[in-house]
Chain A
Amino acid sequence: MKVNTMAEFMAKGEKPEVLFWVGCAGSFDQRAQKITKAFATILDKAGVNYAILGKEEACTGDPARRAGNEFMFQMMAYQNIQILNGYEIKKIVTTCPHCFNTLKNEYPVLGGVYDVIHHTTFLQELIEQGKIKFTDSNEWKGKSITYHDSCYLGRANEIYEAPRKVLESLDMELREMKRCKSKGLCCGAGGAQMFKEEEKGDKRINMERADEAIETKSDFVASACPFCNTMMTDGIKNRAEEVKTEVLDIAEIIAQAIQ
């Protein structure tokens, strides 16, 4: 698919209305790439004038900072802010709650001040504005789904409603897990856990959460974070004999329903 970079916009002397911050998972992880492509498809179909940084994008530094490596974080932040400010970026949308949190909350004090929005909120806005039109044969209607709250979207930034509203706009049957919203259980990936083995214990965190999701007996599990997606998919795969639940990002669901 043709996705314009900021450099290309700049060359034409134009500016996009929003920068799509893809994030490392969205750029490199095979599963997350599908989410990225789904979201880019939606942006195209909704007529959003957007760009990516392409090769100029780099890790926000979130996992390094949470692991305790402030130097690494500050280096990444410095580089990214130089580039973002160089392009005079005003608005950023991202499919990763970790990138979202870092760009929105942690870059301003370092000189990077942008209007940062998570893709679930952005999708909700596009639906409300009528820019996203669903196909007449809504295959999602009536299908049951449970939404797994990402910690960095939920507790960290108190975004609980937007992802749910998006799912409801497709007339899906939303089932809540025992622990949801501000009480939502982590998938186990945050705080740089994604990049190392868990400490020893009785059970893996993603298994605990996958079991909760399975308990709702939903057709689908919705995620809004590429890391949650990986953790939940792995967890549910471990119970593959009993369940056929599929983990999908909210963007993937919308992309399949959009006209």
Chain B
Amino acid sequence: MPTVAGICFTLLTIISFVLFFKKLGKIARNIHLGKAFQINDQKTKRIQNVFLLAFGQKKMFRNPLVAILHLFVYVGFVIINIELLEIIVDGIAGTHRIFKPYLSEGYDFLINSFEILALLVLIACVVFFIRRNLVNIQRLRSKDLDGWPKSDANAILIIEVVLMGLFLTMNATDEEANYLISNLLKPFFSGFDASTLSAIEHTAWWLHILGIYAFMNYLPYSKHLHIILAFPNAYYAPLTPKGKMHNMPSVQNEVLYAMQPELAPTDAAAPEKFGAKDVMDLSWKNLMDAYSCTECGRCSAACPANTTGKLLSPRKIMMATRDRLEEVGKNIDANKQFVEDGKSLLHNYISIEELRACTTCNACVEECPVSISPLDIIVELRRSLVMEESNAPAEWNGMFSNIENNFAPWKFAPDDRDAWTKQD
């Protein structure tokens, strides 16, 4: 006979998962607004990257202390979620610790491990909260994070601390439970009678699982989405040398046909847009990058332009791309298809001054723990600026015409190219 609580719980579970997957579907649709871009080579190497970069968090270990704290949260999150299975079954069936009889001593080992991890997660999150709000760490203090991004980051940490607290409270007030960490909390509850304890336990149990469902549904709106997208993003990470820029076959062909007109097809298609003006002009990988970004700011902390006070911040490039993509997504939701809104990623979200400051040094790409390339987006926007809008600083226009006329970026006579051989 299903209980009222059981039915409520089952319904809640279904609603939570349906909402969650619906939102994920929206995100997948938004990512697919990006241009098709085939990535299906070197599968073994890509799977290796998933293990090394996503599971193994290789890039995080460029700063070992933070890496270890982050590892606690990550391992804790993944492993404690195994317990979620039991919690869900218990909730639906109205049972209490249903796996315990089947696992006997193994069960105690598991719960003890979960509790130790929960404590580590809790400690790590408190340290992270302090680092974020009280210690003066440039990348966490940056104006990039003013407003919602800062609250988002703090909300994640507070929710995690509360969830871990509830998990431990739930075990501490369970009379049958006898586990390592929650036992330490038992003295706090020693004054309560059995029925109060049971009520606290039930409340903690419900708040914990409701908190988890709420958190799950918060994820897709938050920078915290990286816990899912870090994995595909590591798989699709570029495997070519970082210095290599994407070729533009359309331009390559235009030049080829200009040089060798006999090769030009008679039914040549109208030229497409060059570079990216808006999110739809970027590749789907660029857009997935935007959703994968955790706004940690390692990119901007390594950016030569950003650290010397220029307007450019690679992190802000990613945040702007995601914000614009979300806006475009909402536009599509409201109008069934994208209706021109007079805005674009270039100009409205990312300014010319930001784009111009990039030295293409790849420091941002090197630092990103989840294989994002802000540089790729910067370069695509620069292409649009120069080729669609003919918008370049005067010095660059001079450089272009020197290359065109003198075959060098400076105004020297091509005939003097080997003049150095005649010097002593």
Spell out A's residues near B (CB within 8 Å). Answer: 1-3, 5, 22, 24, 26-29, 33, 36-37, 40, 52, 54-55, 57-59, 61, 63-72, 74-76, 78, 101, 104-106, 109-110, 151-152, 155-158, 182-183, 185-186, 188-205, 208-209
CB-based contact B361/A190 at 8 Å? yes
**Interchain CA distance A104-B412 in the complex, whole Å:** 26
What's the count of A-B pairs with C-beta under 8 Å? 206
CB-based contact B383/A68 at 8 Å? yes
Main secondary structure of the interface of B (DSSP, over half): helix
CB-based contact A155/B366 at 8 Å? yes
Interface presence of B4 (CB below 8 A)? no
CB-based contact B417/A37 at 8 Å? no
Interface presence of B240 (CB below 8 A)? yes
Q: For residue A223, give the distance in angstroms from its CB to the closest CB of chain B.
A: 15
CB-based contact B386/A69 at 8 Å? yes
Interface presence of B127 (CB below 8 A)? no
Which listed segment binds A: B105-113, B135-143, B182-190, B306-314?
A: B306-314
Interface presence of B40 (CB below 8 A)? no
CB-based contact B241/A72 at 8 Å? no
In-complex Cβ contact of B247 among A1, A75, A109 (8 A): A109
Q: For residue A234, give the distance in angstroms from its CB to the closest CB of chain B.
A: 15
Q: Which residues of B contact A110 (CB under 8 A)?
A: 247, 252
Q: What are the 3 closest A-B residue pairs judged by CB atoms, nearest first?
A: A156-B243, A202-B309, A191-B360
Q: Which residues of A contact B256 (CB under 8 A)?
A: 78
In-complex Cβ contact of A192 among B307, B396, B423 (8 A): B396
Taking A66-B382, A78-B256 as known contacts, 9 extra A-B pairs with beta carbons closer than 8 A to each other, sorted by chain A number, are A33-B423, A64-B400, A66-B245, A67-B400, A106-B247, A151-B360, A155-B361, A194-B409, A200-B309
Interface presence of B8 (CB below 8 A)? no
Interface presence of B56 (CB below 8 A)? no
CB-based contact A191/B359 at 8 Å? yes
Q: Which residues of B contact A192 (CB under 8 A)?
A: 396, 399
**Interface hub of A1, A55, A57, A109 (most chain B Cβ within 10 A):** A55
In-complex Cβ contact of A186 among B312, B363, B384, B399 (8 A): B363
CB-based contact A1/B421 at 8 Å? yes
**Interchain CA distance A26-B414 in the complex, whole Å:** 13
**B400-419 at interface with A (beta carbon < 8 Å):** 400, 403-404, 407-410, 412, 414-419
In-complex Cβ contact of A68 among B243, B252, B386 (8 A): B386
B398 to chain A: closest residue by CB:
A195
Interface presence of B420 (CB below 8 A)? yes
